[in-house]
Every structure is written in structure tokens, then in C-alpha cells.
Amino acid sequence: MFSNADLARCRMLGCGQSIRWTTTEAGKQLAVNSSPDPEGNTAVHRDVHGVLRSRRVTKTKPIAPHEKLMRPHVSTCSVWNARRRRATTDDPPPRTPPPRSPRATPAAGELYERLGVARTATQQEIKSAYRRLARELHPDVNPDPAVAERFKRVTEAYDVLSNPGRRATYDLTGRGPRPR
């Protein structure tokens, strides 16, 4: 069933054990140890084209008479296991993301308060509240700089709440628009 032509050496630097390359049911390459092993979990056989095939042995698919039970090389490769142990013990802990910088975003519900409407207000109620405040706070009517700043905040609130998509996002997240 097996021939010396199937043998290769493990490519891990420092291992050099004899292995056999097989093709799994998924079409991937799997290295198995060179000799059969009763403790293995991989069934290996040669197909009609002369290719070594391997599959996992399960209760529903036990080993067949024409197959040999072998162990995957990765389970016995000393170099591979040493690297895996070192990687799990010597690596620094995973990096935590940097803290987010606080953005000047309105708190949840603040946009409704700016316009003086309830969260359940209709589009028409939002529009009429904005127009009433715009007549009162517009810089052409009231030249006070503090009032002009309040007018900008009211306009920002209206821009979000008058757009159904942006309003839905605001209602879900509680975050207003990004500062420009």
C-alpha cells in the first residue's frame, strides 16, 4: 500500500521526521506520520489514481479494511508544538484599542429638547417648531451672538429630525450628527 517514494521530510526547521503527504476529503494537503499508528484518528488509503487520500475516522464512518490508521504529523511534531506553546505563553497580551476621543455630540433626546417637541412629534410638528424658533432666533432679527449660536444648534437639530433616515438613526443610537 505504501512505498518509499511517498516519504518526505518535515519542513519544520529542526524536526526532519519522515512524513507522508495525503489529500483530505476537502482537497487540502495533510502530513501524516510515516508509519501506521493504532492511536491515530486519520484513515489513509491509496485511490485508483495512486494518490494517498486521508479522512477523519468517526463513529459514523469507521475505518475500512483497505485503510490504515495513522496520526497527523502536526500532533507529534516537536518543533511545531514547541512553537505553539511558546506563542501562547510568551506573547504579550492583546492590545486594547485606544480610548475614544470625546466628540461634541448631543446627548440622547437633546435634539428634541432644542426644538421643544416630544419624541413622538410628527414631521409637521417638527417643521412648525423650527419655523417658530427661526423667526425668533434668526441673526437678522436678533443680532446677539449668543442667540446666533442657539440658532445654529436649533438648525442642526432640525437637519437631523426632518430627515426620516437620520432621525431613525438618532432615535436608535442617541447620537447626533458629527461636527463639521
Strands 68-70 and 18-24: unpaired
Identify the pLDDT of residue 127. Answer: 95
Identify the pLDDT of residue 132. Answer: 93
Return the percentage of the chain with pLDDT > 90, whole number.
19
Which class is domain 110-173?
mainly alpha
Burial of 69 (0-12, 13-18, 19+ CB in 10 A): middle
Are 15 and 77 in contact by the 8 Å Cβ rule? The answer is yes
Distance CA 165, CA 124 (A): 16
Burial of 170 (0-12, 13-18, 19+ CB in 10 A): buried
Identify the pLDDT of residue 80. Answer: 67
- Confidence class of residue 117 from pLDDT cuts 50, 70 and 90? very high
CA 157 and chain centroid, separation: 34
Nearest to 56 by CA among 36, 71, 78, 34: 71
DSSP reduced 3-state for 113: helix
Identify the pLDDT of residue 2. Answer: 77
123 has pLDDT over 90:
yes
Query: Between these two residues, 40 and 2, which has the higher pLDDT value?
Result: 40
Burial of 114 (0-12, 13-18, 19+ CB in 10 A): buried
Average pLDDT score, the chain: 82
Contacts of 139 (CB under 8 A, 6+ apart): 147, 148, 151
Distance CA 32, CA 81 (A): 15
179 has pLDDT over 70:
no
Query: Between these two residues, 16 and 25, which has the higher pLDDT value?
Result: 25
Domain boundaries, the chain: 4-83, 110-173
- Angle between helices 123-137 and 145-161 in degrees, nearest 10: 170
pTM exceeds 0.85, yes or no: no
pLDDT digits (tens, 9 = 90+) for 78-105: 776 666 666 665 556 556 666 665 555 5
- Confidence class of residue 130 from pLDDT cuts 50, 70 and 90? very high
